[in-house]
Amino acid sequence: MDLIEVEGMRVAGSRADLVLGPGEAVLGGGTWLFSEPQPGLRGLVDLTGLGWDPVVAREDGGLSIAATCTLAQARDAAGRFGTAAAVVEACVDALLGSWKIHNIATVGGNICLALPAGPMTSLAGGLGATAVVWTPAAEGTDGGERRIPVADFVTGVRSTVLRPGEVLRAVEFPAPPAWVSHRRASLAPLGRSAALVLARRDGDGFTLTVTASTASPRVFAFAHVPEAAELAAAIAGCDWYDDAHGAADWRRAMTLRFAEELRAEARAVEAQP
């Protein structure tokens, strides 16, 4: 779509170029920005010119995924996520766009867009990843950075903790969990996610992350794999999202079912010698 109010586009070549002027926004892949009218948008600053490495190994065994890493690049790197490889692939595939979309849409754009069905939010939130945010340069400084769990980064539908002028730089994934699994439902076979539930085990701990059926991620952490009733009681208090992709009561039912399936799966893995 032509963005008829946009007067200019800059390609950022350094951090100094990320100082945004009035009406400017950063451009990831543009798959959403160019998909609908953007009233008030006067300029775009393309992040891809910064040349960030899409996937970088971290000393703690985790991975740093650049905000500009495309979904296709994340999928290509799935094997580097160890136990989470299948979940990475499933979350990329949960964005039911063509290969053209997967080759352009970015991990950062998906998280910053903050749709409940944002699969990169589900993935990063569910694996306990941290958002690295570049804060805008103050007078005479380059600007700093702050870190926020991705599960807390998205605060609601199209709402994040980003303040004006801030840019998501990267998403830092910890070392792969001991075990991870997920469930996903959508109303239509090729529909947008209506419930995407991810469970992982780190040591004895069990963490269940509910996404897509709630406006923003909800994380439930337990010291051990909980009993069925304990888990169901914890989740039951969520505010269930309701839109054309699924009614609230159905999303609730699917989420509770998935949570119990994942809990049972974790128990079964625990029981293995």
Ligand X SMILES: Cc1cc2nc3c(=O)[nH]c(=O)nc-3n(C[C@H](O)[C@H](O)[C@H](O)COP(=O)(O)OP(=O)(O)OC[C@H]3O[C@@H](n4cnc5c(N)ncnc54)[C@H](O)[C@@H]3O)c2cc1C
Residues forming contacts to ligand X in the complex (CB under 6 A) are: 25-33, 35, 47, 67, 95-97, 101, 105-106, 108-110, 112-113, 115, 117-119, 162, 167-168, 192
Nearer to ligand X, 41 or 178 (CB): 41
Cβ at position 154, least distance to ligand X in Å: 10
**C-alpha distance from residue 105 to each of 66, 118, 216, 224, 266 (Å):** 13, 12, 20, 37, 33
Residue type at position 161: V
- Determine the residue with CB nearest ligand X: 109
Cβ at position 264, least distance to ligand X in Å: 28
Residues 69/123, Cβ–Cβ less than 8 Å:
no
What is d(CA 197, CA 73) in angstroms, rounded to the nearest whole number?
23
Residue type at position 7: E
DSSP category for residue 240? P
Nearer to ligand X, 116 or 177 (CB): 116
Nearer to ligand X, 47 or 151 (CB): 47
**Three-state SS for 60?**
coil
**85: closest CA among 52, 55, 116?**
55
What is d(CA 160, CA 109) in angstroms, rounded to the nearest whole number?
12
Residues 225/261, Cβ–Cβ less than 8 Å:
no
**134: closest CA among 30, 11, 16, 9?**
16
Cβ at position 79, least distance to ligand X in Å: 22
Nearer to ligand X, 117 or 256 (CB): 117
Nearer to ligand X, 77 or 178 (CB): 77
Here the tokens at position 37 are 């009218």
Residues 105/95, Cβ–Cβ less than 8 Å:
yes
Cβ at position 175, least distance to ligand X in Å: 24
Cβ at position 212, least distance to ligand X in Å: 9
Cβ at position 171, least distance to ligand X in Å: 10
Number of other CB atoms surrounding residue 140 within 10 Å: 5
Nearer to ligand X, 101 or 219 (CB): 101
